[in-house]
Structure 1
């Protein structure tokens, strides 16, 4: 069967069909209704962070005052700081004496607390509005999707744009480019012809097709794999499912459309094939070796190790998965430290999925346990992850012109990173949640 003989994907279907279906699956239509939970401390007339006219709201003016402000970019710590957020954007941040506070602005008292930019989860699977809300309330004000089965992440991204208090700013990956699409072939009529391919999505034409459909439906990045999954006991995560040539085909198709590729990986050979094929970021990468790390440093390839997910395997009731968790975690920690010492850029990601959203602060804590300094660990979920997502001028700092996203914690996170797992307040686009 010649996949290329099928007409190009229709971009119009994204808005009128696929996106509507994804929104229904994700529950984002209900989430954006007036019955949804209102951000704490906001006017009842704007329960979902929208203006009276129904357009996106950006929180008016909010002043966070009296806290200790940490700038991850510089490491500077400012006591008795003031952050002024207007229309969802930071207008000023600094010591009290150097910042003018607008009259009549809503005030969030941060005395006795530390103030940080909202954290970034660079690998998370958000398939429902409830998961999106959980992620925000645990401090992930920005995120990158690790793919969903039916484009739900694209719907969540749109929810975040219109009702920022309900979802993190999201970079959507659409559907997984994988040999066996399974039920995902039903996500889009443009994909159903691929169900007849005896060998699955492996030919150059089929690989390009899935990338093209993703882009037509609004995906911001492309997600693929080089190895089988660690979280399924019947699979061997060291088994390679795509060759260097196949990965290069995926990367090439994505690049022609201005998209980067994140790649699920475990084995050293698989990691090396993925990196040399030109992926933007290596996900998991437990057995990545020095040769590949050196190539990543040269190319600027990011490493998103998802330590939280690997650590979670050790708690599994399945003995195969539990053994993988116990075996893989120390290996991955060593790889993270080696990457950091070589200068490979790191990004924090929880790989949360299946209805359970883990706090991104836990990933930061595990980065520290791997050997990074507390400040460098925080950077993996702020400035480092922001660069990976192309948000280096939007997220990761509380400085003029950046997004008005912040978390407040009860103490000094440089001394106790566990504080990041339980923020006492979250601010999203100027909305105090």
Structure 2
């Protein structure tokens, strides 16, 4: 009975798509809005000279002072006690990982074996809203099942539900669907992984994720899943279709192969030696370290059925991850912020930046990793991650100076604009909205 209600609720939401599309035709052009802040900090980490900004048709039209003289008819929003920074980008999450019921004590089994796609869609909608409330206006999702991520993206793009703009990787190349060491010749396995990349592109993904090693949840092993010829074929096929490639690597063993194959980002990796790190920096491949999710797993181990030993291993991985991030940053490897958020972690997406500063990055560098640099990873550096004329009006207002204390970004978001629309305003209460879609 409960599954029937969930399926009905999801069907109702999907049915709203036609209504939303029809009503969009009748909308008038958006009005011009003049925003005033105490300061404006760009995604480069620079403090801009003006304190006012004009937004029109979803984009930033002007930045400066006394803009009301040029735009006398603009609607004014006074955010004068808050600092403006660009909308944040979470470059690694799993927004469809969730369910509406309490954890059974084995959350992974509950998610993968007991939660229907309709329930995961409802949970994903809540995850999207919570993510938006952290100031994340764009996100890269790097693993989903049953096409729920594509359904969510369509709902968000049509304005049916709130959420960040999504850059999707679909299911990708994962042992669940592409078992490592499968029967057949090397040539057959190479062809199989290349074909998988084309299938992901056909679904409408922008990214291909290759799970090149083991490692997830309490498993921190980093054992190789695929050999170099397989990785190379998948990368070449993905790039031929215009997809970018993210490679999952918990340990260092496959990182040289990832660099040789020309992936676009490497996720999680630790313990990489200095010569490989120099090659990595020279190749300009991004590193997305995903530190904070292991803290979250350790603190919530009861929901996953993890043991005390599991918790100890997760906590021991944190300093290795931080050490790797510090060395990568000093070596010149480009860095992007990714939370690796799953299940109940949404709403804490940006705490990753606190680890960045603890690892030695300046607050300005940490902010860049979640704005201008993350936009470059996505190939959206001409549209996202900056506060500049012509860029998307993705703007958040925070209490404090993020160049002095990154917690102004991670803990004190008060107002969010995405594409010129105010989507979060909690200036009076400072509290997020509750989840709305899970029964």
Does residue 328 of the first structure (1) align with residue 283 of the second (2)?
A: no
Is contact 1:26-1:152 (8 Å) kept?
Answer: no
Does residue 431 of the first structure (1) align with residue 421 of the second (2)?
A: yes
Counterpart-to-counterpart distance in 1, 2:15 and 2:345: 21
Change in Cα spacing, 1:109 to 1:25, as seen in structure 2 (3 Å) is: farther
Counterpart-to-counterpart distance in 1, 2:215 and 2:157: 32
Is contact 1:231-1:321 (8 Å) kept?
Answer: no
SS in 2 for 1:403: coil
Is contact 2:375-2:385 (8 Å) kept?
Answer: yes
After superposition, residues 62-141 of structure 1 pair within 5 angstroms as 62-73=33-44, 75-78=46-49, 81-94=51-64, 96-97=65-66, 100=69, 102-127=71-96, 128-141=124-137
Range that drifts further, 244-253 or 315-324: 315-324
Compute the TM-score of the two structures, normalised by the length of structure 1.
0.80
SS in 2 for 1:263: strand
Q: Who is 1:13 aligned against? A: none
- Deviations, residues 154-205 of structure 1 (Å, cap 9, x unaligned): 23333333229712121111113112229xxxxxxxxxxx9xx768x98123
SS in 2 for 1:111: strand
SS in 2 for 1:92: strand
What's the offset of the Cα at 1:64?
1.4
- Deviations, residues 33-61 of structure 1 (Å, cap 9, x unaligned): 49xxxxxxxxxxx9x8x884458888533
What's the offset of the Cα at 1:271?
2.1
Q: CA RMSD in A?
A: 3.0
- Deviations, residues 345-383 of structure 1 (Å, cap 9, x unaligned): 000000112253143431122111110011011000001
Counterpart-to-counterpart distance in 1, 2:10 and 2:255: 36
Counterpart-to-counterpart distance in 1, 2:28 and 2:141: 24
Change in Cα spacing, 1:31 to 1:77, as seen in structure 2 (3 Å) is: farther
SS in 2 for 1:208: helix
Q: Who is 2:267 aligned against? A: 283
What's the offset of the Cα at 1:277?
2.0
Is contact 2:339-2:350 (8 Å) kept?
Answer: no
Counterpart-to-counterpart distance in 2, 1:321 and 1:142: 32
Does residue 368 of the first structure (1) align with residue 337 of the second (2)?
A: no
SS in 1 for 2:248: strand
After superposition, residues 377-416 of structure 1 pair within 5 angstroms as 377-416=366-405
Q: Who is 1:9 aligned against? A: none
SS in 1 for 2:166: strand
SS in 2 for 1:149: coil
- Deviations, residues 247-280 of structure 1 (Å, cap 9, x unaligned): 1121111112121210111111122222222211
Does residue 160 of the first structure (1) align with residue 156 of the second (2)?
A: yes
- Deviations, residues 288-309 of structure 1 (Å, cap 9, x unaligned): 3322221111111000001121
Q: Who is 1:148 aligned against? A: 144
Gaps spanning 5+ residues in structure 1: where?
A: 1-23, 35-45, 183-193
Is contact 2:172-2:197 (8 Å) kept?
Answer: no
Is contact 2:125-2:161 (8 Å) kept?
Answer: no
Is contact 2:131-2:164 (8 Å) kept?
Answer: yes
What's the offset of the Cα at 1:77?
4.0
Aligned length: 381
Is contact 2:296-2:345 (8 Å) kept?
Answer: no
What's the offset of the Cα at 1:102?
2.7
- Deviations, residues 126-173 of structure 1 (Å, cap 9, x unaligned): 222221121112111011111211222223333333229712121111
Change in Cα spacing, 1:364 to 1:249, as seen in structure 2 (3 Å) is: same
After TM superposition, where is structure 1 displaced by more than 6 Å over at least 4 residues in a row? 55-58
After superposition, residues 297-376 of structure 1 pair within 5 angstroms as 297-315=281-299, 316-317=301-302, 318=306, 319-376=308-365
Change in Cα spacing, 1:113 to 1:58, as seen in structure 2 (3 Å) is: farther
SS in 2 for 1:222: strand
What's the offset of the Cα at 1:65?
1.0
Counterpart-to-counterpart distance in 2, 1:100 and 1:165: 36
Counterpart-to-counterpart distance in 2, 1:228 and 1:65: 48
SS in 2 for 1:90: strand
Change in Cα spacing, 1:31 to 1:141, as seen in structure 2 (3 Å) is: farther
Change in Cα spacing, 1:26 to 1:166, as seen in structure 2 (3 Å) is: farther
Counterpart-to-counterpart distance in 2, 1:295 and 1:56: 52
